[in-house]
Structure 1
Amino acid sequence: MANTPQPGTRERIVRAASLLMQRQGYEGTGIKQVAQEARATLGSVYHFFPGGKQALGVAAVEHADQEFADLLSASLSRETDPAEAIASCARELARHLRESDWADGCPISATALETTGRVPDIEQAVARAFQHWRDLVADVLRGAGFSEDDARDLALTVISTLEGAELTAQVARSETPLTVAGSHLARLIDSYKASPLKASPRA
């Protein structure tokens, strides 16, 4: 079996920054700490990110976005029924959270709360991440025959609910908030299948 390629210096720096920001936020994460965590020199960090902490923060959010999107896509693809796919996704998030000893919740929530209205580049990266996740859910729903409006609105509801449930599960150190949220989201999606709701009028 071939050896798994080791991540390069830049990738180690971005991964370290992403993990630290997930656990302690943007303000609580320093460049020196990132360098130490990544086993890199401070000069290497500034070589790859001459824009400093803000540029590194954007890269870290983009990395977290893709990691969560991969987890979301894998969870959603395991089930052909969209309602069960969402419930399965919630259970998978709960499992990952428990296995991290409740340390690794949403990869960008702490950063999002700290930087909104203060650090535009990171704020925009966070907004793109949330949109990316909503698009993944909407694609699954469209593929199952939901209308464009319903798929978009349900995707917004799914991601918003899972975000809140993940935070609650992390604080409570319990999988229950996520599994319950997943079950109720599945029921909501099933209700659209049983009796499609008329899309709300758009301005």
Structure 2
Amino acid sequence: MPKKSNTAERIVRATAALLASRGYAGTGLNDIIARAKAPKGSLYHYFPAGKPQIASAAIHFVGREVGDFLDQAGGQAPHGRNVLRRFTATLRGWLEDSQFAEACPVFSTTLSIDAELAPVHAECRQVLQAWHASIERALLADGLEAAPAAARAWLVLAALEGAVAIARAEQSLRALSAIETELQALLPA
């Protein structure tokens, strides 16, 4: 693939935002071009495999960005609680900044069903596994044993992503805040 430019980055960011609000099926190439303010030819210049490649790049971008936040938060005790706070703040920010129009693009895309999505779903799987690993590492650092740390990491991830779906439906942060509070009680202090 050719070297990325500012245009490629704009395309990736625009795609991430569109996936967050519309999912994969609702994100069209013309929408990406318009949001990125990019010429149509640039899509196929930087992403010759088309929409699945663009979506995979967007998921990878979001995954890396959030993963970095989670790893930073997990570097200080209480590790698990800090990761939970950071992840919840990230999700809350997406919801508030978009007035509940956008959620987690990884979760939104994972729910999409389309024959061409195999490589995109593979990227979603890798991102979710990486986020799980960040949460699990934090819980291990707090002294949890391996099996409970792995299970609680999945619980944190699933509960927060589910709370985001409810928050979008209700146009309220009530569920996300309640889930964060309940999860805090399950994590080492």
TM-score higher than 0.5: yes
Q: 1:83 to 1:31 in 2, by over 3 A?
A: closer
2:143 aligned residue: 145
Contact 1:89 1:182 in 2 (8 A): no
Q: 1:42 aligns with which of 21, 40, 43?
A: 40
Unaligned runs of 5+ in 2: none
Which residue in 2 is equivalent to 1:197?
A: none
Gaps of 5+ in 1: 1-6, 194-203
Q: 2:82 aligns with which of 78, 81, 85?
A: 85
1:117 offset after TM fit, Å?
Answer: 6.8
Q: Kindly, what percent of the aligned residue pairs are identical?
A: 28
TM-score normalised over the length of structure 2? 0.86
1:20-35 to structure 2, matched below 5 A, reads: 20-35=18-33
Residues 95-114 of structure 1 correspond to what in structure 2 (within 5 A)? 95-114=93-112
Q: Give the 3 Å change call, closer, same or farther, for CA 58–108 of structure 1 in structure 2.
A: same
Matches within 5 A, 1:34-183: 34-76=32-74, 80-82=77-79, 84-85=81-82, 88-89=85-86, 91-92=88-89, 93-115=91-113, 119-183=117-181
| Runs of at least 4 residues off by over 3 Å | 70-77, 115-118
C-alpha distance in 2 between matches for 1:97 and 1:154: 24
CA RMSD of superposed structures (Å): 2.2
Asked if the contact 1:142/1:151 (under 8 Å) is kept, the reply is: yes
Q: Structure 1 residues 117 and 45, CA, compared in 2 at 3 Å: closer, same or farther?
A: closer
Deviation at 1:104, TM superposition (A): 2.2
Structure 1 position 157, deviation (Å): 0.7
How many equivalent residue pairs?
Answer: 184
For the pair shown, the structure with the greater C-alpha radius of gyration is 1
